[in-house]
Every structure is written in structure tokens, then in C-alpha cells.
Structure 1
């Protein structure tokens, strides 16, 4: 348990440090990657049967549209209301849609395709606000508070993932932990435009999250567990890096 929570703390800290050095969009991209769910799935893979892990991976993919809905609702709410209202509305969207999606019982191939399609259009659904790119001044105390909040939220998820039924474990793994924590600090201190940039970057990183779980689900059916897990991480990083490079090209061409 301690090692898992340390991984969560490292994820929140690295994402915040990336925002401090490179800007909110880069911090969001790192936060969207499976830096928390990936290690959790590694621990679950060591403890549970392969079939159970595939069930959890598929359930997570089924719930990914709810994760995107959370981020989009948070972004739009941040342009009008304070962080606590945006947080409440975003989680209402997440848990409401996330509870309904498993009831549809989509075929696995369609569930994977839907998850990737929603991720592809998620960034386009965000509000368009101008933001100045570059380093962000994040005080040490705020960094500590971000990490503590992320660890507190993750503790509940880690206690349930792999123990609860697969659909509920999948829903919990799809909860955007840093997507709940980081915007709540960003909005009151840096404003709506910075929050939208953070969440847009989060969607970009979440594409790597989706690639991770698609590759894990498919890979466990044909490869040894270690090979499938390594391939899942390779897919996540390749997708996130490619999308970030594409976004940088667009920014350069627009300038």
C-alpha cells in the first residue's frame, strides 16, 4: 500500500513540477498518462488472474468517455464558477455517465473503439481561451498540498481496485485523480485560461492512458503478462509523445 501511494505522490509531484517548468499544458499531459492507474494495474496483475485483469482493463475503457466528460465539464464550469462548483459538476458527470456506460454492455471491440474515438474529440470540445505558455510559479506549500490531496483520493481507489467487482474497479481506475486535484489549485490561483490549458493537456495525456488499456487488454490475450504490460506502457508513451509533438507543430505554424 505504501509503495502504491508513493507512486501516486510522485505522479502529482512530477505533473506539478512539469507545469512549473514548462507550463500548465505539459503538466496536464503528464497527469493524463497512466502514471497512477498503470502501476496499480501492475500490482493487480501480480495478484489476480489474467482474465480478471483483462476484465478490469475493459471496464476501464468502457468508463473512459465518463473521464473525458469529467474534464470537459470541469473546463467549461471553470470559465463561469469557482473551483468547488466545477469539481462537483465534473464528478457528477463522471459518476453519472460512468454508472450508466457498463449497463449498455458494448462488445469489447466497440468499447475500445468508442474510448479511443471520445479521446480523439475530447480536446475539440474544450473552451478556447488564450493562455501565455511557459513556466508557472508554484509555491512549495502548494506543491505539498497537491501531493497530499492526490494521495488521500488515491488511497480510497487503491483499497478497492482489484477487490471490488470488475466494473466498479474499472470505474475507480478511470477516476482522474490528478484531474480532480490539480485544477482545484490551478483555477483560484492562475485563472480559467490556465485551467483549460491544463485540462486540454490532460486529455492529450489521457490518449496515452487509453492506448495503455487497449494494448493491455489485447496483449494479455496473446502474450505473456510481462510482455503485454511492457507493450502497454510503450503504446501509452508513443501516443502521448506523438500528440504532444503534433500540438507543438500546430503552435509553431500558427505563430
Structure 2
């Protein structure tokens, strides 16, 4: 199949399914499901198909930095959403994301230390994450919210994979977990259902980053030994198991 056609069919389908999962099982489980590597996995796959397996493996170190920045985004947006509407909360959270990404990019931590730091940061974030109030969620939907989410997600994937050869593996990896899907989740939850819904969804997403991070970390060791299908399949099983355990603990 043509890679461009693959992008144009896979990515909107993934975004639509995540949105339907949130509607079916609620914001917490929806956030947990949304944290699975539905976007980062295909982006890594496209890196490998277009730039080669070595490029994909080298991008994983940058992905760890991107995940730290993503945690900063989720925590910041949740905190700011209590006081402000979605736009100022989003801009401030993007600021937190950018500062975090730049700091850890220049620190140049190795893969093992980065992975340990990400896991530790996730656990701390879950401990201190803003708590939603007891106020019930509003239930409101835009008539075309699913197509809007599908288009935005697809455009992001096209841009980041299209610029990979210019950005190089490190910055391509850093931008792989860029909170485009997370932003969509936060904005729609916040604007349609209120701050509580956004906080609940983003906390579920941070919880799911335990498995998401491990999925990507394992690729650094699986891809050199196995095919892409086997590497992704084995790591995806591990991701699911971690998410199931995390959902029971938290």
C-alpha cells in the first residue's frame, strides 16, 4: 500500500476510535486508552518505512524527552484548567511542554536514565495530580467533533513524518509524543464537559504513559533483533498488561 494512503486512512480511523472509546467508557478509561501508542506507534513505523530502521531506533532517545514534556503538558493543563478557559490553559501548557523539552534535550541523558526518569516522573505526577471536584460533568458535543479530531491528527502525522529527514532522529523523536492528540482530548473535554472532565481524562492518559513509555523503550532492543511486526506486537502486549495493572492500582 502507498505510505501516504496508509497515513490518510490509518490516522483518522485511530482518532475516531479513541473518541468513541471515550464516549463509551468515560474520560478516565478513554484517557487510558488514548495513551496507548496509537499515534506514536504509527509515526515510528512511518519513520522506519521512509527513513530506515536505524533512524527509527535512534529516534527513541528523543521520544523519552518528548514524553517528559508531555507529562508537563498534562499536569500544567489540568492545573490551569481550573481557573481559565481552554485557550489560555492550552497556551500555558504548551509553554511548559516546550521548556521541559528544551531542558532535557540539552541535558542529553542516555536511554536507560531517560526511561527511569520518565517512569519516576509519571509516578510522582500521579501522586500530586490535580484532583477533580465533585461537580458532575456537563454532557455536550459538537456536531462535527469527530471529523475535526480526525483531520487535525492526520495533518500532524503528515507534517512530523514529512519533516523527519530535516529534523533528524532526535528532534523527530522528541516531537513524536507532541500533545496533538492530547490537546484534542483536553480541549474537547474541557470546553464541552468542564475542567473536571479534562483533569480526569489527562490523569488517565498520564497513567497510561507507564505502558506507552515501555512500549517505545522496548523498541530500542526488539527492532535490531526482530521484524517490525514482531517488535511492535510483543511490546504492545506488554503495554496492555502494564495499563491493566495501572488501572487497578490507581
Q: TM-score higher than 0.5 here?
A: yes
Moved more, 117-126 or 192-201: 117-126
Q: Does the CA contact (< 8 Å) of 1:22 and 1:134 recur in 2?
A: no
Residue correspondence of structure 1 range 51-90 to structure 2 within 5 A: 51-90=54-93
1:226 Cα deviation from its structure 2 partner: 3.8
1:142 aligns with 2:140: no
Give structure 2 stretches of 5+ with no counterpart. Answer: none
1:60 Cα deviation from its structure 2 partner: 0.3
1:152 to 135, 152, 155: 155
Aligned to 2:94: 91
1:215 aligns with 2:218: yes
Compared with structure 1, are the counterparts of its residues 136 and 31 closer, same or farther at alpha carbon in structure 2 (3 Å cutoff)?
A: farther
1:223 Cα deviation from its structure 2 partner: 4.0
1:139 Cα deviation from its structure 2 partner: 5.0
CA RMSD of aligned residues (A): 2.3
1:140 Cα deviation from its structure 2 partner: 4.3
Aligned to 2:39: 36
2:113 to 103, 110, 115: 110
2:235 to 224, 228, 232: 232
1:192 aligns with 2:195: yes
1:34 Cα deviation from its structure 2 partner: 0.8
2:207 to 186, 197, 204: 204
Compared with structure 1, are the counterparts of its residues 204 and 7 closer, same or farther at alpha carbon in structure 2 (3 Å cutoff)?
A: farther
Aligned to 1:251: none
The whole-number CA distance in structure 2 between the counterparts of 1:135 and 1:7 is: 31
1:111 Cα deviation from its structure 2 partner: 1.2
Q: Scaled by the length of structure 1, what TM-score is found? A: 0.87
1:168 aligns with 2:171: yes
The whole-number CA distance in structure 1 between the counterparts of 2:48 and 2:156 is: 22
Compared with structure 1, are the counterparts of its residues 8 and 49 closer, same or farther at alpha carbon in structure 2 (3 Å cutoff)?
A: closer
Aligned to 1:177: 180
Moved more, 51-60 or 72-81: 51-60
Q: Does the CA contact (< 8 Å) of 1:65 and 1:118 recur in 2?
A: yes
Q: Does the CA contact (< 8 Å) of 1:22 and 1:135 recur in 2?
A: no
**CA deviation map 1:91-127 (0-9, x unaligned):** 1111221122121111221112112222222222321
